[in-house]
Amino acid sequence: MARYIDEILQPGERVLYSTNAHWIFYFPAIVAWIAALALLILSRQATVDWLVLLCLGAAGLAALAALYWTVKGWFHRFTTETDVTNLRVVHKTGFIKRRTFEMALDKVESVDVDQTILGRILNYGDVTIRGVGEGIETIKTIASPLAFRSSITTR
């Protein structure tokens, strides 16, 4: 499956920078996998039959939740593209129901980055692009938001 940006490039247009949703989308899945593993280990330590069954059942439920969140996080990352070309900024989300945002670089008025403390440590954040007469678009939880901003503002 080709990337969206490769399908819409105009003649003479080239991709300068690409980023994606940050891996932090996997955090709930990681926590659930750790909980499932801890409950499985706990079930091996238990000596009472009902406690073993309880731990195994809880581990199974945690593993199902972890699998759901893993697939959900992967699908979000797989279906989200954010690119800067020499002419425009392009952001696409969705697979069947697609939502795209495109803004010409010469119409970008400002680019704001919002990062939490954890976002600064793990290098993710929200980027708000303000356009001249074109409105405001916020791209949530992208990897390397400062590099993304620099790729837009540096010409």
End-to-end CA, the chain: 31
pLDDT of residue 134: 66
**pLDDT at residue 35, as a whole number:** 96
68 with 87, same domain: the answer is no
Instruction: Note whether 35 and 93 are same-domain residues.
Output: no
Judging by DSSP bridges, how do beta strands 99-104 and 88-93 pair with one another? antiparallel
Same domain, 90 and 128: yes
Instruction: Determine the pLDDT at residue 84.
Output: 94
74-127 tens-digit pLDDT: 999 999 999 999 999 999 999 889 999 999 998 999 999 999 999 999 999 999
* 124 three-class SS: strand
Residue of 133 and 36 predicted with greater confidence = 36
31-52 pLDDT per residue, tens? 999 999 999 999 998 888 898 8
Whether residue 92 is contained in a domain is answered as yes
Query: Is 69 in the same domain as 35?
Result: yes
**What Rg do the C-alpha atoms of the chain give, in angstroms?**
21
Same domain as 46, residue 91: no
Instruction: Indicate if 95 and 144 belong to the same structural domain.
Output: yes
Work out the pLDDT band at 24, boundaries 50, 70, 90: very high
Residues 68 and 105 in one domain: no
Amino acid, res. 72: K
Do residues 95 and 147 share a domain? yes
One domain for residues 93 and 139: yes
Structural domain containing residue 143: 15-22+83-153
90 vs 8: CA distance, rounded Å:
10
* Joined tokens for residue 22: 């940050």
- The verdict on residue 6 lying in a domain is no
Q: Answer yes or no: do 36 and 91 share one domain.
A: no
Number of domains in the chain: 2
